[in-house]
Structure 1
Amino acid sequence: MTKPTMIDLFAGCGGMTVGFHDEGFKPVLAVEWDRYAAATYAANWGEDHVIAGDIAAVEERQIPRADLMIGGPPCQGFSNLGLKRLDDPRNQLWREYIRFIRTAKPQVFVIENVDRFSKSPEFQMLVEEVDHGTLNDYEITYGVLNSADYGVSQRRRRTIVIGSRVGRIDLPSPTHARVPEPGSGLLPWRTVRDVIEGLPARPESTELPESVTEFFGDPMPGIFKGLDIHFRRNPNQLSLDRYSYVPPGGGRFDVPVELLPRCWREKPTGTTDVMGRMRWDAPSLTIRTEFFKPEKGAYLHPQWAPARQRRDGDPQYIKGDPKKSVDRVITHYEASLIQDFPKDYLWMGTKTAIAKQIGNAVPSGLARAIAKQVRPFID
């Protein structure tokens, strides 16, 4: 049988494509302006159908007909971490998505975005296009899904919109739960242990291997694979001392006050996940683009053991046993596995560029669940 065709817009490094390809979809066009991310996509899925450039510059003659369109327009303008500026030009890029729908005429489209997207003015404009505008032959369903409910070892909430002109398509039902009810048929959430246990706890290298490959006419760092991106940082002794006090599930409040930077000492509440340590037997919190900075979230490796047992009357702070603890942030490779990329996925770019690609991606397990839900409706 001929595989249904797919266009991936704002494709990044291909996280959504991984999931949809697994369910039988064939990518025929991908558009991504970040050239490193586009090169990563091309390394895995082929350069012939990738446009590395501004989506607004893509001409209609370059847009093929396709059965499905997927994509996540940039969301920084109205994310929790952004400035929430309604006039941010990045918020208007979803209009380009609509232009592609008009031209490619997919049977189904899928939009992925931050959880706040469903409450944004831009989302309401999209609804109006469906109700009374150029997309009035589509019916949409939408909601906020947690990646952990679909077999991803990460709690990552995303708004998913499914538009269909071949019948209403509901959002996929969860396949996993924190604590499944007996007889529900649900599986327990997957954990950090499930995806990174057994990797070298103390990587030898701090750098990417020397490698250069040409994509789109430009030489770029890469291709890297697997343990190539399992490298460590070189934190100073003060940072190591801070890490050593943080137990699994803990954070900056577990660090002795005298070791904290002034900005944290003077902020007694909030930002509870910074300098946080993951738990082995739970999903991680959201992997963001700067997961290599512990001051940005709960990104410390989950392995930790106290130097001694806490006793009544002990001080608040207990230091970790340096022989039994891993006092470092997760590596790029560990982050990619928590984001549900295949173990042998190929990567292009600098260390910072690859981290950005990983943090911005849609976990392939979530994409796979959506693809499985959509596939029976595609003619």
Structure 2
Amino acid sequence: MSVDEFIRDTKDRLMRVDMLHLSPPCQYFSPAHTRESVHDETNIFALFGCRELINKLRPRLVTLEQTFGITHERHHQYLRGLIGDYTQLGYSVRWKVVRLCTWGLAQDRKRLIILAAAPGEKLPPFPKPTHSENGTGGLQPFTTIRKAIGSIRAGDDLHNLDTVKYYRPRRAPLDPDRLAGTITTGGSEVYYPDGTRDFTLREYACIQGFPKCHKFIGTKTSIRRQIGNAFPSNTVRVLYRHLEDWLLQQDRMARYQPIADNILIVDDSDNDNSDEYLRWQTSPGVSSSPEMDEDIMEIDCPQERHQGTFHRRGHFIDLT
């Protein structure tokens, strides 16, 4: 449901979550948006509707994904307003434009990622890159077009070669061992590497980071919109695994390890007169301050003050 409906329908319910993710509409802020649209005001209002959701749920951590175009000068007031919404609620904020290919995506796609931590919570760093060009630095090589779509076979779901657009004459061949262009709701500027046809919906989905087994529901047009609008799932895995580890570390808890055949081990050896209880594993992990890169922006908003400070490597701007 829409944010306003959710807040209205749950006004009498106390709700708390560990993590909240926000992906407000990005069309207005996209660098490709050059003409006014009837949806512009709605998309802008949706961006600032996020504040009410955060205030309702008071999550420990918040993540937000948005087009990098909002960082451009013409949209700077919207970015400042968005960050101000977090700091007014006492949240510390860190944000960065991330090349998602460094988190495993088969596209040279850039997105603004915002991390925020509630009062009393430590602000996590960004995940470290998992991929690099040619595997430099001991990382995995970038995921190429060939690798992303290489397992797709004739007959796979949404891989209908009879309905895909063919080019006659064929277009110039593309290097399959490179990153794809950015996938949008309209598809992509790239096409099947041999130049004969467009990508199928399944190929678009795999390039957008979806596993081949992911099931889509809807018309061809709506599925393409779902693919183009998605926060790529393989990069989401990198981000949220990292944040899950961060919360476990802050809580001094070890990741749950299922026991063979789902057998639950009960420890009743101690002199405890209560019912059987579970033995919880704890971890003495100690957090450390992350190293800040040149392109990471951060606002530290301790609980005892609500005035945020915008800084970049020692340069400070008062947001109030």
- Whether TM exceeds 0.5 here: the answer is yes
Tell whether the 8 Å contact from 1:65 to 1:105 is kept in structure 2 after alignment: yes
1:70 is paired with a residue whose SS is strand
CA offsets 1:65-94 (integer angstroms, 9 cap, x no match): 211100210011111122476962211212
Flag structure 1 segments of 5+ consecutive residues without an equivalent: 1-52, 205-226, 249-278, 305-326
Summarize deviations over 1:72-120 as a string: whole Å, max 9, x none.
1001111112247696221121222111111111000000000112343
In the alignment, the residues of structure 2 paired with residue 115 and residue 191 of structure 1 have an alpha-carbon distance, to the nearest angstrom, of 22
**Amino acid in structure 1 at the alignment position of 2:45:** Q
Aligned to 2:82: 126
User: Which amino acid letter does the alignment assign opposite residue 349 of structure 1?
Assistant: G
2:183 aligned to 287, 291, 300, which one? 287
CA distance in 1, matches of 2:131, 2:145: 15
Match of 1:197? 150
Q: Tell me by how many angstroms 1:61 deviates.
A: 4.7
Compute the RMSD of aligned alpha carbons: 2.3
The alignment's TM-score, normalised by the length of structure 1, stands at: 0.58
Q: Once the 2 structures are TM-superposed, how far is the Cα of residue 194 of structure 1 from its aligned partner?
A: 1.0
Of the two structures, which has the highest relative contact order with CA contacts closer than 8 Å and spacing of 6 or more? 1
Q: TM-score normalised to the size of structure 2?
A: 0.68
Partner of 2:215: 346
Identity %: 26
Name which of 241, 250, 268 aligns with 2:168: 241
Cα displacement (A) at 1:54: 2.7
Match of 2:128 among 154, 170, 173: 173
**What are the superposed Cα offsets for residues 26-83 of structure 1, whole Å, 9 maximum, x if unpaired?**
xxxxxxxxxxxxxxxxxxxxxxxxxxx3322223453732111002100111111224
Tell me by how many angstroms 1:155 deviates.
Answer: 1.5
- The yes-or-no answer on 1:95 pairing with 2:48 is yes
Matched residue, 1:301: 192
Within-5 A mapping of 1:1-379: 53-62=1-10, 64-83=15-34, 88-119=41-72, 120=75, 121-131=77-87, 133=88, 135=89, 137-165=90-118, 166-181=121-136, 184-200=137-153, 227-232=156-161, 240-242=167-169, 244-248=170-174, 279-291=175-187, 297-298=189-190, 300-303=191-194, 327-378=196-247, 379=251
Distance 1:199 1:186 in 2: 25
Conserved 8 A contact 1:230-1:334: yes
- Deviations along 1:144-188, one digit per CA (max 9) or x if unpaired, are 11111011212111000000121121222211111343xx22111
Gaps of 5+ in 2: 252-320
Contact 1:167–1:377 under 8 Å retained in 2:
no
Structure-2 change in CA distance of 1:57 and 1:302 (3 Å) = same
1:18 equivalent in structure 2? none
